[in-house]
Structures are given as C-alpha cells and as structure tokens.
A = this chain, B = another copy of it.
Amino acid sequence: MKPTLQTRLAVEFIGTGLLVTAVIGSGIMAERLSSGNIGLALLANSIATGAALVTLILTFGPISGAHFNPVVSFANALDRGMSWPETLAYIIVQCIGGIIGTALAHAMFGLNMMTFSHHVRSGFPLILSEFVATFGLVAVISGCSKSRPSVIPFAVAAYITSAYWFTASTSFANPAVTLARLFSDTFAGIRPLDVPAFLLAQFAGGLVATLFFRWLQPLEPKSGLSGPPVRLF
C-alpha cells in the first residue's frame, strides 16, 4: 500500500518545484504591482507562500510525506529511521525540482528561464535569522508530529507566513529553495556568494531543533534496529 520510492521521488520533485514556483512567482507579481511599496509586496508574498504550502502539503503529504526540504528529510533520517540512501535521493530530487520551479515561474512571467541573482543577503543578522527560522520550522514539525500530525500542514504554513516577517532574512529555511532562488534575479532571489552561509545555518538550526526535541520528548526505544521509514507529515 505504501507508494513506491519512484512515486515518492516524483512527488518530492514536483512538490518542491511548485513550492519554488509559488515563492518566486508571487514575489515577481507582488513587486510588479506594489508601486515600490516593499511592505505590501512582502505581505502578498508571505500570504501566497503560506497558502501554497498548506495546499502542497495536504495534496502530496499522503504520498511522499511532503518534505520538500532537505533539512526536513535530514531530520527525518536522524529521528525516524528514514534510510540514508533514500534521504539522499529525496534531497537530490528536491534540489532539481526547485530549480525547475524557478524556470517555470520565470516562463510564466515572461523572463529568462534562469539568471543569477544579484540580491545581496549577507551579514551575521541574516545568518542568525536563517538559524532561527530553520530551528523553528523543525521544532514545529517535531512538536506537532507526535501529538497532532493532522495539523502539520496548517502549522507549517502559518509558521512560514509569520517567519517571513519576524526574521531579517525572510526565512528561506530550506536549502533546496535557497539553491533555486539563486537562479532568480527577482524579489525572491539570493546572490550565489551568499548561499553557502545560508545552507550551513539552515542545517545547523535543523540539527539543534532535532536534538532539543529529543531531550524534550525522549523517543520510545525502537523495537528493532532498522524500523521502517515514518511519514513526517
């Protein structure tokens, strides 16, 4: 009854792609229509991204778990026995899917399919922001998945809409999305030079959140060494 790996990878590919399309596409539309009012553009961008997330997780979660995020797959491998080869496969298709998503957004708005971004995002405050943003994201998933997994799609969406505003980096919080935004010289883009520090901060935030929740809610001892992968969502 469990979907095949091939099916799940297809869903992670298309889901991450559509997530990036939503992030970048809504950023382009918002910037174009907001007459230079960046606050208004970010409000539209944050609402559109949250709404896309809840939709995509509800739609694809039952098939692949709707990770759409290498940090989430990584946390899943650490905590729930998703095998490392499978985790790696998830991460690879997420990254490729995200880049295709950038191209799709650009095509829908009549831009070149792929361009390097010149949007500077550097400095300690932004790195700290990505650490906090990803810590929070993994905390939300960990906290809800034990007691009330059915609300995860809503909790994740609300979290990201909020974190767009309360972090200085507008909460990328996702390495695959970060890589994909590197190829977009638009509102949502990020200069290639600034990407590595973002990725590092994101994995660090996810790791600390995982360890923190392991302390908060010790896992029951597993019945065997190689339990089956568990759906995160």
Q: Which residues of A contact B (CB under 8 A)?
A: 3, 7, 10-11, 18, 21-26, 29-30, 33-52, 54-55, 58-63, 104-105, 107-110, 123-125, 128-129, 132, 136, 139-140, 142-144, 146-148, 150-151, 153-155, 157-159, 161-162, 164-168, 216-217
Contacts of A148 in B (CB 8 A): 58, 62, 150
Q: How far is the CB of A65 from chain B (nearest CB, A)?
A: 12
C-alpha spacing A127/B106, complex, angstroms = 14
**Sample (7) of A-B pairs whose CB atoms are under 8 Å apart:** A47-B47, A48-B164, A52-B162, A55-B159, A62-B148, A104-B132, A109-B125
Tell me the number of copies of this protein.
4
Contacts of A55 in B (CB 8 A): 136, 140, 155, 158-159, 162
Contacts of A139 in B (CB 8 A): 59
Q: How far is the CB of A103 from chain B (nearest CB, A)?
A: 11
Q: Are A132 and B155 neighbours in the complex by a CB distance under 8 Å?
A: no
